[in-house]
Amino acid sequence: MRLSRYFMPTLKENPKEAEIVSHRLMLRAGMIRQQSQGIYSWLPLGKRVLDKVNAIIREEQNRAGAIELSMPTLQSAELWQESGRYDAYGKEMLRIKDRQDRPMLYGPTNEEMVTDIFRSSVKSYKDLPLNLYHIQLKFRDEIRPRFGTMRSREFMMKDAYSFDLTSEAAEHSYNKMFAAYLRTFDRLGLRAIPMRADTGPIGGKLSHEFIILADTGESEVFCHKDFVGFDIPGEHTDFDSVDGLQAIFDKWTSLYAATSEMHDEAAFNAVPEGDRLSARGIEVGHIFYFGTKYSEPMGAKVQGPDGKEHFVHMGSYGIGPTRLVPAIIEASHDDNGIIWPASVAPFDIVVINMKAGDQACDDTCELIYAALNKAGKDVLYDDTDDRAGTKFATADLIGVPVQIIAGPRAVANGEVEVKDRRTGARETMTIEAAINRFVA
């Protein structure tokens, strides 16, 4: 992508409305724009990051055996009357009428709809286990939307729903998502700690929130500090192994970890003082096992091996991609801007032409840009006629992991500089060496 032809409306000044660093940097880097309170557009740079986050979420959901579909944002109130949640869900639900005066709503979550899909076509235990997910916009009319897309009214959620014949099988499904979440957050460059959680309006028996430690987090959390160094389940984790997944779950729940709603002061005080971590955190994922809470009222049942009908045991599993993007920034930035983990960076490399219009600089940059593109890299080429200082500041602000800098003096020697955004380390090398480093 040539910056001269891109749309990346960066800001020099700090926007006044932004209270936390991620919100400030997302606005300054031109990633998002507020359209009305708690409702955002994702501008091209932000959209690139969001897409990369979603791609990782999707890969790990698929690896764990979940199947993607897409359900609509608008739902009929009838389904929610069946489950009893139409009245129970308060003002957070945006209720709408269509032209025939039929009550509709903008989905805050999809348990009812997915249960309806399930009951209409699954009739036998032989079709279980089943886990269906989508990545879709949700709407919750939050009292205090704030911190940009961290807590917005319209936001994106990956929500998965599992269906099983028995509660034991449902626990295995829960453990699959538990392990998939550990892997997902790790690949996003985050350390998320599963904490026992309240089941809230979704209801149910077993629930964990995945929390990232951050000073600006809205939750107060308490945990054993060893969680920070625990191993993440590997790429070859066998998601069909009941015992293997139970062992992962047992390990990751073996030490104290709870949010303030579930906090047990006495249990926490039993942790040796030097191992106690009491901090603030951001909830980036939440998983629930709720048994037959929806399948019973909505009549979602299958025939078991005993020939009888059984209400299915369900769980639901949410991750917030539009919250994860600012959460990643909270965890990874410096005074100059964002520092993206390579896995979600909007571009892999930015090529900075320090003197656009200078034949040697232009030729060198074009050569590098073409070679890296050909190798399948996402490259941003700053070919604008801005001053070098402005270009450096922009490159640092948007946080692309690698900068290749071509200035007239180095280029005259057949060289460029390669800068690592995270460490700030700069290395001078030949043009060929710079290309080979990233093309290998």
Q: Which residues bind to ligand ATP, rule: CB under 6 A? A: 140, 142, 151-152, 155, 157, 200, 283-286, 318-320, 322-323
Shortest approach of ligand ATP to residue 198 CB, angstroms?
Answer: 9
Question: Which residue lies nearer to ligand ATP by CB, 263 or 310?
Answer: 263
CB 376 within 8 A of CB 81: no
| DSSP strands (E only) in 292-420 | 301-303, 309-311, 313-319, 333-334, 337-338, 349-353, 379-382, 402-406, 415-420
Angstrom distance (rounded) from CA 132 to CA 121: 13
Shortest approach of Mg ion to residue 199 CB, angstroms?
Answer: 9
Angstrom distance (rounded) from CA 334 to CA 205: 41
Question: Which residue lies nearer to Mg ion by CB, 286 or 419?
Answer: 286
Residue 320: contacted member of ligand ATP, Mg ion, none (CB under 5 to 8 Å, by partner type): ligand ATP
Question: Which residue lies nearer to Mg ion by CB, 158 or 286?
Answer: 286
Neighbours of 336 (CB within 10 A): 15
Question: Which residue lies nearer to ligand ATP by CB, 119 or 138?
Answer: 138
Angstrom distance (rounded) from CA 49 to CA 287: 24
Shortest approach of ligand ATP to residue 204 CB, angstroms?
Answer: 12
Question: Which residue lies nearer to ligand ATP by CB, 199 or 336?
Answer: 199
Shortest approach of Mg ion to residue 209 CB, angstroms?
Answer: 6
What one-letter code names the amino acid at 353?
A: N
Neighbours of 96 (CB within 10 A): 14
Shortest approach of Mg ion to residue 269 CB, angstroms?
Answer: 26
Identify the bridge partners of residue 349 per DSSP, sorted by sequence position.
379, 402
Shortest approach of ligand ATP to residue 72 CB, angstroms?
Answer: 18
Question: Which residue lies nearer to ligand ATP by CB, 23 or 140?
Answer: 140
Both structure tokens of 387: 């001053």
CB 316 within 8 A of CB 159: yes
Shortest approach of ligand ATP to residue 297 CB, angstroms?
Answer: 20
Closest CA to 327 of 224, 249, 212: 212
Q: What residue number has its CB nearest to ligand ATP? A: 320
Question: Which residue lies nearer to ligand ATP by CB, 157 or 300?
Answer: 157
Angstrom distance (rounded) from CA 430 to CA 413: 8
Both structure tokens of 134: 């989508």
Angstrom distance (rounded) from CA 291 to CA 311: 9
Enumerate binding residues for Mg ion (CB under 5 A). 286
Shortest approach of ligand ATP to residue 255 CB, angstroms?
Answer: 22
Angstrom distance (rounded) from CA 215 to CA 331: 10
Shortest approach of ligand ATP to residue 328 CB, angstroms?
Answer: 12
Angstrom distance (rounded) from CA 432 to CA 189: 30
Residue 155: contacted member of ligand ATP, Mg ion, none (CB under 5 to 8 Å, by partner type): ligand ATP
| DSSP strands (E only) in 98-237 | 103-106, 130-139, 154-164, 192-196, 206-213, 219-224
Taking CA 85 as the corner, what is the angle to CA 82 and CA 88, rounded to the nearest 5 degrees? 140
Taking CA 203 as the corner, what is the angle to CA 69 and CA 305, rounded to the nearest 5 degrees? 65
Q: 81: burial class by Cβ within 10 Å (0-12, 13-18, 19+)?
A: middle
Compute the half-sphere exposure of residue 157: CA atoms within 13 Å on the CB side of its CA. Answer: 27
Shortest approach of ligand ATP to residue 218 CB, angstroms?
Answer: 7
Residue 305: contacted member of ligand ATP, Mg ion, none (CB under 5 to 8 Å, by partner type): none
Question: Which residue lies nearer to ligand ATP by CB, 48 or 286?
Answer: 286
Question: Which residue lies nearer to ligand ATP by CB, 204 or 304?
Answer: 204
Question: Which residue lies nearer to Mg ion by CB, 282 or 395?
Answer: 282
Q: Which residues make Cβ contacts (< 8 Å) with residue 415, sequence separation at least 6?
A: 428, 429, 430, 431
Helix (H, G, I), strand (E, B) or coil at 32: strand
